[in-house]
Chain A
């Protein structure tokens, strides 16, 4: 599993680990998807484009995940996985997807990406619930 949730009393904090920036985005989408729809199956039917900018890797990751969350919340597009140009998934269907909880935002709290001894990247992201 490229992500694991940390104990956090009020919100949700997740550690993402991946060899590169694209891998961090993939792990971030997987964590967010679990928070939003639990283990509901999500088909890779469409790709929605996302252009995420930022001054560093952490900001780009957070800004990317903010867009994924916006697409879910405002346009009911359920994320399945990160895509090369955006995020892949499908429109929300009440008979297939269980909306498990409200995620208010992807925060910049403690946003930092570090390179480990093995050369891989590690980021912690806090979601406001």
Chain B
């Protein structure tokens, strides 16, 4: 499945995929030489070129430094479309609609917490179900409640006692995307979602306890409550089975729509419909509903993380734990950007990419207006993660987007083979990182060496000006699926 697409170097951090064949625009990849070398032998660059074939694309088809081979769009892909001539593509959002991350900052320091980390990770493991098909027996939604979740997202969760109103100000779009239509979500999707709210799931999803290990911008870090040594909780999950089913349901419709509207597809997974079409409206309503489910999911997990903190460190520790931010990294949104010097509303697809709005952007809550939007970049469970801020550079060059993570370097099969003679759990414990997992196989597949060093990705983003480093977090305890 290898392909070769011509790539031209623009500067130290930018590469152009020149328009050719059916491409309607260039591709633009942010990467250094080493990261570009990592792409040899797979289809990620071809996938950037494929996205450039879609009708109504505005600006280049963009890829972030954590680009890797996905399906349809590459992971790390960003593309914007004109509202009249452009399309929406479920393959540009992904199956895990509004997969995203959220970061909580506690009032505890790592030195205070370290003696009781074992109890904390056990409490997190007990209170937040993880693993394949994880479900909750204490939160099973009746149809009317589920539809309220799909309409209201994190706001529903807070109104039902899962969190505090201040949480909502620290969530992208305040935790509720407009345009959600629960009626557009199939019964199959609702069935899959009804007992999965408040569960982390499996694969690369996690709940991770860490601390602020390095500071790059002390003033911004203090504003976010991320002083050196501060204990944090990082949550990575999305819309679970409900979101997968929404995407899956939409693909048959979109394949038919692509034929109906005579849209040539270089890859069937890029099937799409004109934004003004009834097929697009149906997907849009269902996608936003699934995104709201994901916001509510992470809101419940944060609530149960606070409960675990209360069990181990007392109620005050939970009360003084605040939400730093929550971002989507698989979504399509209508946003206002400046294109060729003129303001224009476009539909921005981010698949494995994070919104990174600059200081002064009107969509940011007042507490972030002068700082820029916090951006959360998880790494692997053995090294570190980062908190960044959005920049003018991102707004100018990438439709206000930046990277979303480290990106895998080994396949799951390769990772398992490497892990087989070793005990990854023990190795991590020897490094001071406690891991609780529903399945040891997942730990092996998710071993630190399976991922690129996220600092390589973040350094490119920082140097290219599409994100600004604030702090680095190091993990001390992880719950995996």
A: which residues have CB within 8 A of B? 5-13, 55, 58-59, 63, 66, 70, 73-74, 76, 99-102, 104-105, 107-111, 124, 126, 128-129
Contact = CB atoms under 8 A, between A and B. Distances in A.
Contact of B131 (A6, A73, A99, A105): A99
A41 B91 CA distance: 34
Given A7-B413, A10-B69, A73-B241, A109 B267 contact: yes
27 contacts: A7-B413, A7-B414, A8-B69, A9-B42, A10-B408, A58-B268, A73-B133, A73-B192, A73-B241, A99-B132, A99-B133, A100-B132, A100-B439, A101-B439, A102-B133, A102-B481, A104-B95, A105-B95, A107-B71, A107-B72, A108-B267, A108-B268, A109-B70, A109-B269, A110-B1, A110-B267, A129-B412
B71 A74 contact: no
Contacts of B268: 58-59, 108-109, 111
Contacts, number: 107
B251 interface: yes
A70 B188 contact: yes
Contact of A74 (B91, B191, B251, B410): B191
Interface centre among A66, A76, A108, A129 (most CB of B within 10 A): A108
B271 to A, nearest CB: 7
Nearest to A37: B132
B465 interface: no
Interface of B: 1, 42-43, 68-72, 75, 91, 94-96, 131-133, 188, 191-192, 201-203, 241, 244-245, 247-248, 251-252, 255, 259, 267-269, 271, 407-414, 439, 441-442, 445, 481
Contacts of A6: 1
Contacts of A55: 255, 259
A43 to B, nearest CB: 20
B71 A128 contact: yes
A102 B1 CA distance: 24
A7 B410 CA distance: 9
Contacts of B414: 7
